[in-house]
């Protein structure tokens, strides 16, 4: 018996369903405007609080810096996860000649507030297991962790090449009265035999949700440090999704250079690409004034501030 063709009403319903499904699964690029340009360009260093009403976020951030008010951006949560591991594995003077399989070690490090305890064990096959116990720890009195994060990895006992993976879900974080939950993973790659003066990377996926505020997502993102250069260099590349605005592609056009590893940059440039070929640029032009920043865009917008 021949199959009857669908009537036009049913076809219309199916078309609507398919279109709606496609719209929800495809990413929405940011359409830059006067309200979101600075929020996007500053996001690696500054996430404004929910109560912030000013659209000139560069000026709002500059005032916080001047008054000594803490702040943080999307780099900081990953830095708080990566730094303890990098510091530990480059300071214990681990070498193939002095490696003792199965040895358990721990260190306690105090921060600007609180402390963390890192425990690890490496077996004879180079398998690494451990945990970081954050106790209200913050390295600069901004974002703090108060939880335990396990990690595992693999050490090449001949070359010292080390890969460590952290997976975390609903990791609580706090800064003053602001509360956050983070979920994701971080894969850190470094050389455990090379000491601090080296290049290393972290591949990142992260959801950051502010309780009563916005949600952010880092996808296919890589953080890169070069501590072998005359001055520390940092780069970031990947995708940032803003619940309120959409998604941008972020690249480092020139490395961010600072006097200390986590200090404010005095050189370097980040570019954020959105919808319709539009872009915004964050750069640091003053070697004599670390942290002084400029933001401009494909539409001719310009502003300045300081981190």
**Cα dihedral sign for 17, 21, 24, 30?**
negative
Q: What is the pLDDT of residue 23?
A: 38
Give the global pTM: 0.89
Q: Are 278 and 299 in contact (CB under 8 A)?
A: yes
Mean pLDDT of 275-303: 97
Q: Report residue 82's pLDDT band, with 50, 70 and 90 as the boundaries.
A: very high
Q: What is the pLDDT of residue 53?
A: 87
Report whether pLDDT(163) > 70.
Answer: yes
Report whether pLDDT(226) > 60.
Answer: yes
Q: What is the pLDDT of residue 106?
A: 82
> Please, what is the end-to-end C-alpha distance for the chain in angstroms?
74
Secondary structure element (H or E) that encloses residue 111, with its range: none
Q: What is the pLDDT of residue 225?
A: 98
Report whether pLDDT(230) > 60.
Answer: yes
Q: What is the pLDDT of residue 191?
A: 97
Report whether pLDDT(194) > 60.
Answer: yes
Mean pLDDT of 2-9: 44
Mean pLDDT of 9-30: 48
Secondary structure element (H or E) that encloses residue 15, with its range: helix 8-25
Task: Tell me what percent of the residues of the chain surpass a pLDDT of 70.
Answer: 91
Q: Report residue 114's pLDDT band, with 50, 70 and 90 as the boundaries.
A: very high
Report whether pLDDT(228) > 50.
Answer: yes
| C-alpha span between 33 and 31 (Å, rounded) | 6
Q: Are 188 and 207 in contact (CB under 8 A)?
A: no
Q: Report residue 103's pLDDT band, with 50, 70 and 90 as the boundaries.
A: low
Report whether pLDDT(14) > 80.
Answer: no
Please state which of the ranges 21-25, 114-118, 178-182 shows the lowest mean pLDDT.
21-25
Q: Are 48 and 57 in contact (CB under 8 A)?
A: yes
Q: Of 289, 285, 255, 251, nearest to 271 (Cα)?
A: 251
DSSP single-letter state for residue 3:
P
Q: What is the pLDDT of residue 98?
A: 73
For residues 169 and 25, the model is more confident at 169
Mean pLDDT of 164-192: 97
């Amino acid at each position: 018996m021949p199959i009857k063709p669908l009537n036009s009403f049913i076809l219309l319903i199916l078309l609507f369903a398919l279109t709606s499904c496609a719209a929800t699964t495809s990413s929405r690029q940011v359409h830059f405007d006067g309200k979101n340009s600075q929020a996007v360009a500053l996001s690696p260093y500054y996430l404004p609080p929910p109560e912030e009403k000013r659209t000139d976020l560069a000026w709002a951030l500059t005032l916080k810096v001047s008054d000594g008010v803490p702040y943080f951006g999307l780099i900081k949560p990953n830095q708080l996860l990566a730094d303890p591991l990098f510091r530990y594995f480059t300071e214990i003077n681990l070498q193939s000649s002095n490696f003792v399989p199965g040895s358990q070690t721990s260190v306690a490090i105090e921060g600007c507030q609180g402390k963390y305890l890192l425990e690890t064990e490496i077996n004879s096959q180079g398998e690494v297991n451990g945990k970081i116990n954050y106790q209200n720890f913050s390295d600069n009195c901004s974002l703090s962790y108060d939880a335990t994060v396990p990690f595992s990895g693999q050490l090449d006992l001949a070359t010292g090449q080390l890969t460590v993976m952290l997976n975390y879900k609903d990791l609580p974080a706090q800064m003053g009265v602001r509360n956050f939950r983070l979920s994701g993973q971080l894969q850190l790659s470094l050389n455990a035999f090379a000491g601090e003066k080296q290049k290393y990377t972290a591949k990142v996926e992260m959801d950051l949700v502010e309780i009563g505020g916005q949600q952010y997502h880092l996808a296919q993102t890589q953080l890169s440090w070069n501590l072998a250069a005359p001055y520390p260099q940092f780069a970031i590349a990947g995708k940032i999704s803003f619940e309120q605005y959409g998604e941008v592609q972020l690249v480092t056009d020139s490395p961010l250079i600072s006097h200390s590893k986590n200090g404010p940059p005095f050189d370097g440039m980040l570019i954020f690409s959105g919808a319709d070929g539009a872009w915004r640029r964050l750069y640091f032009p003053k070697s004599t004034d670390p942290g002084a920043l400029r933001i401009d865009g494909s539409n001719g917008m310009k502003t300045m501030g300081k981190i």
